[in-house]
Structure 1
C-alpha cells in the first residue's frame, strides 16, 4: 500500500463519537451516491497526474505529508466546518487554536504573547510586517537576498519601503552589508530568516541582536520553514545557539504545514508584546455576542478561517507535543540526520560537490565540470534522468559570485545545481535507495 488508508477506520469511529454529542432530531442530507462515485473516481484519476509527494523518493521540493492524525482530525472537523473568526462559528475550535498557539509560543520561550493561525506563511508574514509598519510607518523593512520573496511583495502591498542586502556564501545575511544599511538610520525592521527556503540557512540572530542594541530596530523572525528545528539535539552548535535566542525577537512566523505535519494551509504569527492587539481593533455589529473573551477575529487581518486547521494541529499536539526529546522532535532529527548523511556521500563522490553544509534538512550540490554553464547543463540533464529513475529532486540557482577561488571557470551569473528537502523522517531509512538512484542517474 502506497497511500496510507488505515486511518479511515479511525475517521468513522470519530464521526460516530462526534455525532453522539448533539442531542437533536435526525435529518438526512440527500445526494446522488452513484453520481458522486463517478465524479470522485474521475477526480482520483485526475489527481494521478501528480508527482508522488507522499513518498520518500520525492526528495525535492518542500512538500511533507500530513500526519495521519492531522488528516483524520481535519476531515472530522469538516462535518462541522467551523469558522475560527468568532466564537459563534467556532465554539470548540477557537479555544483549540488558542491552545496550540500557546504551545508554539512556549516552544519559542514565550509565556505572554499574542498570536493566531493563518492560511499560510505569506499571510502570517504580512501581519508581522503590517504591525512593524504601524510602529515604524516611515522606516524600511530589510531582509537578505535569500529571504523569501514574499517579504518584498508584502512590503509593496503595505506601501512600506523595502531593501534587500547581500548574503555570504552560506546564504546567511551579510552583517557588514546590514550594518551599512542600519547606519543610514531609516530601518524599522530587520527580517531574520531562521531557515531559508533555498539553502536552509539560518541567519546570525546572535549578531543581529547585538546590532539591535546599537541601532534600535524591530526583529521579525521568519521561521516559517525552520522554526521547529530549535527542538533538535543534532544541530551544529552555532545553529543551536542562534535558535536559543529567538525569544528575544519581536515577532515570529512558523508554518505548521511545512515541518509541523499539517495539511495546507496552516501558518502562524506570534508577537512577543500582546499590546500590538491595539492595531487590530475594529467594530463589527454582528460577529461578537456569544462570549466576552477575546475573539480570534479581533486579532487577525483574515476574517473567515478554517477551524479544521486548528482542530488538526490540536490533535497532532496531543499525540506528539512540540517539545525537546519528544517523538515529534525525534522524527525531525531523522530528517536532519538524512541531510548530513547525504552531504557526506556527496562530498566523497568524484562527480558531485556540495554547495554549502546543511544547517537544517536541505542539501544542495552541483555536478563537476570545467565551466559553470556546462555544470548547469549537467544539472538539468541529471534532474531529468533522476525523474526517469523515479527519484524526484529540485533545481536551485546559486549565485556564482559567492564562489571563492573555485577550480572551475565562472562564465555565468548563476550555477544551476540540485537540491533536496529531506523533510520526511522516512528519508533517513530510504537514503541508500536515494543514493543508488542518484548514481544510476549519472549514466
Structure 2
C-alpha cells in the first residue's frame, strides 16, 4: 500500500513527480496538429473504448493503464485550445489555471467548512470581495459564492429571489413552512431564448414550468420590454404575483444582451428582484473598449458569472454575486458536525452557509491566480480580441451573398446560414447546413456549432479563443462554401 498519495515521504514525492511529468509529456504530445478532433464517429469511438472489464481481478498497475490511456483516450479528446474549435461556450484553459487545477486536485480542499479548507476559504472570500467590486457592487454589503456552473448559479439566485420576495412582500417564510397556495401564483419573466436552467430551476423549486413567463425578443434578439410590461400587467390582473425578472447578458446562441437599465426600472416599479444571467457576457467587463455594454450589471440584485466561458478557465468555475449578501440567510442551516455557531462567532467562516452544495472544489484559486497573472491589460486584450473577431466574421459573412447572418454580434457569437443562390428550398438548405457541420467534424477536425433560428437550421461560431486570426476566419468561410456545394 505504498505510494497511494503525495506525502512528505521521499518515495511518494518521487512517484508524484514522475506521474505528473509523464502525464504532462503525454498530454503535450497529443497536440500533434492544429485540428480540434481526430475524426472518429460515435460508433468508431464505442469500439475504441470497449473493454471486457474496467475492474480486473488484479490491478494492471500504472504503466499499463497509462499506455491504454495514451492509446485510447488522449488521441480522441477534443483539443479545445485549437483554433478549429468554436462550437459552444466551452473553450481552452489558460496555462496558469491548469497549474491551479493541479494544486486544487492534489490538496483536495473541501469548501464547506473552515477546518476543511483554511487558506482556501480565505482566498474565496477575498476573491468574491474583489469580484463584487469589479461588477459595481458596494463591497460592504455585497457577497457571493462559487458554484459548479451557470445553471447552479442561476438556481441559487432564483431560490434566493423567491424567498426574499415571499419574506418581504408576502410576509411568508418559505424556508420554514414550504410552498403555500400563494406561491403557486408566483411568476418570473425571462427571454424566450434564455437558458433552460430557468425552467429547470423553477421545477426543482416546486414552482413548475408554469411560473416561467417567456418574453418575446426583438430583431436584435433582446428582450422586448414593452412585451414584458404587458405580460406583467396581464398577470397582475389575473391574480398572479410577479416576483422576478431575469435579464440575459449574452444569450447562449446569439450573445445578445437584454436592456438591463430598463429592466431594472420595471423591477423597481413592481418591487421585483432583477437577476442577470451573465454566465456568458460577464467576461465583457474585462474589455477596456467594450465594458460599457454590460454596465447595467451593477443595477441587478444578483449576477451569474461563469469563468469557464469567456474567462477561459477549466470546467467547472462559476459564481453567483448578490448586491445584498444578507439574502444568503435563506440557505443557512447549522449542523454540530460542520458549521458550529460558536466557531463563526470567533471568526471561522464556513462557506456552506451560503451554498447549495456542501462539498465544493477550491475553484476560486483559478480566478485568484489568473487575474493576477494577466492583469487588467492582459485580460482586456483577450476579451477584446475575441469580440472583434466576431465583428470581423459578421462583416465578411454579411458581404457574401452566399450567407445570411441572423444578427450583429454584441459579444463573440456569430449565427449564420449558408443559403447559396436561393434556388433551393428551406428544407434542402437545412440539410446542406447540417452536412457541412458533420463533414467539418469528421473530415477536417473542425468543430463549429449548430442551432435553429426562425425554424431554420443555422451554423454558429463561438469565438472565445483569442488565437483565432482573421485569416483563419476567411479560410473557414471559404471551406464552408466549398463543402456546401460539393
- Give the TM-score normalised by structure 1: 0.84
CA distance in 1, matches of 2:280, 2:440: 26
Deviation at 1:328, TM superposition (A): 1.0
Match of 1:248 in 2: 299
Match of 1:435 in 2: 477
Q: Does residue 68 of structure 2 align to residue 42 of structure 1?
A: yes
CA distance in 2, matches of 1:27, 1:84: 30
Deviation at 1:242, TM superposition (A): 4.9
Q: Does residue 314 of structure 2 align to residue 293 of structure 1?
A: no
CA contact (8 A) 2:193 2:251 kept: yes
Aligned to 1:136, the other structure's residue is in SS state helix
Gaps of 5+ in 1: 1-18, 400-413
Q: 1:359 aligns with which of 401, 410, 430?
A: 410
CA contact (8 A) 2:303 2:321 kept: yes
CA distance in 2, matches of 1:87, 1:141: 36
**Residues 161-310 of structure 1: matches in 2 within 5 Å?**
161-183=211-233, 184-185=235-236, 186-235=241-290, 241-288=292-339, 292-307=347-362, 309-310=363-364
CA distance in 1, matches of 2:246, 2:282: 14
- Label 1:241 to 1:260 Cα distance change in 2 as closer, same or farther (>3 A): closer
Aligned to 1:393, the other structure's residue is in SS state strand
Match of 2:47 in 1: none
Structure number, greater radius of gyration: 2
Match of 1:144 in 2: 191
Gaps of 5+ in 2: 1-5, 20-59, 167-182
CA contact (8 A) 2:247 2:274 kept: yes
Deviation at 1:378, TM superposition (A): 2.1
Q: 1:85 aligns with which of 93, 107, 112?
A: 112
State how many pairs are aligned: 400
Q: 1:350 aligns with which of 401, 421, 439?
A: 401
CA contact (8 A) 2:112 2:359 kept: yes
Q: Does residue 149 of structure 2 align to residue 120 of structure 1?
A: yes
CA distance in 1, matches of 2:332, 2:435: 55
Deviation at 1:205, TM superposition (A): 1.0
Deviation at 1:92, TM superposition (A): 1.4
CA contact (8 A) 1:234 1:337 kept: no
CA contact (8 A) 2:87 2:460 kept: yes
Q: Can you list the C-alpha shifts for 1:22-60, whole angstroms capped at 9, x where unaligned?
A: 9x7768489998821221232232243333322111121
Deviation at 1:206, TM superposition (A): 1.9
Q: Can you list the C-alpha shifts for 1:137-186, whole angstroms capped at 9, x where unaligned?
A: 43212111110001111111101222212112222112122111211332
CA distance in 1, matches of 2:161, 2:425: 44
Aligned to 1:219, the other structure's residue is in SS state strand
Greater share of helix residues, 1 or 2?
2
CA contact (8 A) 1:391 1:434 kept: no
- Label 1:26 to 1:385 Cα distance change in 2 as closer, same or farther (>3 A): closer
Match of 1:411 in 2: none
CA distance in 2, matches of 1:232, 1:94: 29
Aligned to 1:275, the other structure's residue is in SS state helix
Deviation at 1:233, TM superposition (A): 4.1
Q: Can you list the C-alpha shifts for 1:375-408, whole angstroms capped at 9, x where unaligned?
A: 2122112222333233211111002xxxxxxxxx
CA distance in 1, matches of 2:230, 2:82: 46
Q: Does residue 136 of structure 2 align to residue 109 of structure 1?
A: yes
Q: Can you list the C-alpha shifts for 1:360-389, whole angstroms capped at 9, x where unaligned?
A: 000010122354323212211222233323
Deviation at 1:258, TM superposition (A): 1.1
- Label 1:140 to 1:47 Cα distance change in 2 as closer, same or farther (>3 A): farther
Deviation at 1:61, TM superposition (A): 1.7
Aligned to 1:133, the other structure's residue is in SS state helix
CA distance in 2, matches of 1:394, 1:95: 39
Q: Can you list the C-alpha shifts for 1:381-439, whole angstroms capped at 9, x where unaligned?
A: 2222333233211111002xxxxxxxxxxxxxx11011010100111363344334334
Q: Can you list the C-alpha shifts for 1:97-147, whole angstroms capped at 9, x where unaligned?
A: 112222221111112311110111111111100101102243212111110
- Label 1:49 to 1:221 Cα distance change in 2 as closer, same or farther (>3 A): same
Match of 2:457 in 1: 416
- Taking only aligned residues, the RMSD between alpha carbons, in angstroms, comes to 2.3
Deviation at 1:234, TM superposition (A): 4.2
CA distance in 1, matches of 2:292, 2:369: 30
Q: Does residue 179 of structure 2 align to residue 132 of structure 1?
A: no
Q: Does residue 129 of structure 2 align to residue 75 of structure 1?
A: no
CA contact (8 A) 2:202 2:212 kept: yes
